[in-house]
Amino acid sequence: MTENRGSTLLELPDPQPAAPPAAKLPDQPAYQQILAVLAAADAASTGAAGGEAMDMEIAPNNINNARL
């Protein structure tokens, strides 16, 4: 029968890294409007639908901005 010996701690382990700070969201009316449109959508939305919901003119540049 062998004897079970505990191991010796030679150094302290690194502490757990701190949690990253919560993202700070913009407090701008347009950002809030975009969030409201996305929250109200039943499914995935297109840039054109998002732009239309925000009363933007349906033009290629506006659609691309709404997608972003």
Evaluate whether residue 7 is within a structural domain. Answer: no
Q: Determine the Cα–Cα distance for residues 66 and 68; give it in Å rounded to an integer.
A: 5
Q: Count of domains in the chain?
A: 1
In this prediction, residue 34 has a pLDDT band, given cuts at 50, 70 and 90, of confident
Evaluate whether residue 63 is within a structural domain. Answer: yes
Buried-state track 20-48, b at ≥16 Cβ within 10 A, e below 16: eeeeeeeeeeeeeebeebeeeeeeebebb
Evaluate whether residue 13 is within a structural domain. Answer: no
Evaluate whether residue 44 is within a structural domain. Answer: yes
- Rounded mean pLDDT of the chain? 75
Structure tokens given for 37: 């449109």
Q: Determine the Cα–Cα distance for residues 44 and 38; give it in Å rounded to an integer.
A: 9
Q: Record the pTM.
A: 0.39
Evaluate whether residue 57 is within a structural domain. Answer: yes
CB atoms within 10 A of CB 51: 22
Domain span at residue 38 reads 29-67
Evaluate whether residue 41 is within a structural domain. Answer: yes
Evaluate whether residue 14 is within a structural domain. Answer: no
